[in-house]
Amino acid sequence: MDSLSPVGLGTMGIDDPATIETAIDVGYRHLDTARVYGNEATVGEGIARSDADREDLFVATKLWIDDLASDDALDAAAESLDRLGLDRVDLLYVHRPRGAYDPAETLPALDEIRGRGWTAHVGVSNFEVPQVETARDHLDAPIVANQVEYHPLFQPVDALEDARDHDYHLVAYSPLANGRAGEIPEVVAIAEAHDLTPEVVCLAWLAAKEGVVPIPKASSARHLRANLAAADVGLDPADHDRLDGIAREEELFPE
């Protein structure tokens, strides 16, 4: 699978492979992890337990800021594959443009990793638009995704515009505002009007945006199913306008 599902699974904090297995069983195909989450082995075990064909899954992981020197990136990618129990991932990100990150050194290493067949695609995460532009200048491979914080209280519209202009995905992490969806008045009002949960409202709003792929975390089968089904929920244009117009900006995971 080379395309991203409308809703993926964010796995930060998931430490039980049964949760990953359940997610796959209920229909998730896009699984997002990272070295720094400390759960690549958990995700890999859940994949191994499931009945899904590997080719039907889109597995993404990320190189942490300590892994971004050229040789370190190659070693870290190999270690991630070993922990996942996979011979390749579908998407490998630079987790943050910090630490050992040097565009002229790190990004050619990603091209090398891709050339070795260890990843099908490369991406960036937590990059601002000028940093994405610089990354494009140093990569041979196309950028497939920029993973950024995106929820009603923090809306990186400039990042979305760049993604659309340059034909890559914006993968939205913390789409439920780190558990605060039910505290946002506009979200709550729309949820009550449509007999939905605030979480479904947030996900339906994001999934309807061209080029945006939310990756909520969930552990129970009920929440996993509800999050996945949110992509099929249609909100009114006025609802979208109301959420788009929230003036507050509150980045929950700044640099």
Alpha carbon distance 138, 104 (integer Å): 6
Residue 37 a catalytic site member = yes
Neighbours of 197 (CB within 10 A): 19
β partners of residue 149: 173
Q: Which residues contact 129 (CB under 8 A, 6 or more apart)?
A: 158, 159, 162
Backbone angles phi, psi at 9, to 5 degrees: -115, 115
Of the residues 28, 37, 101, 150, only one is catalytic, namely 37
Q: Which residues contact 230 (CB under 8 A, 6 or more apart)?
A: 7, 199, 200, 203, 204, 207
Give how far Cα 171 sits from Cα of 52, 99, 104, 214, Å.
23, 22, 24, 6
Contact of 203 with 175, CB cutoff 8 Å: yes
Half-sphere exposure of residue 158, counting CA atoms within 13 Å on the CB side? 8
Active centre residues (catalytic): 37
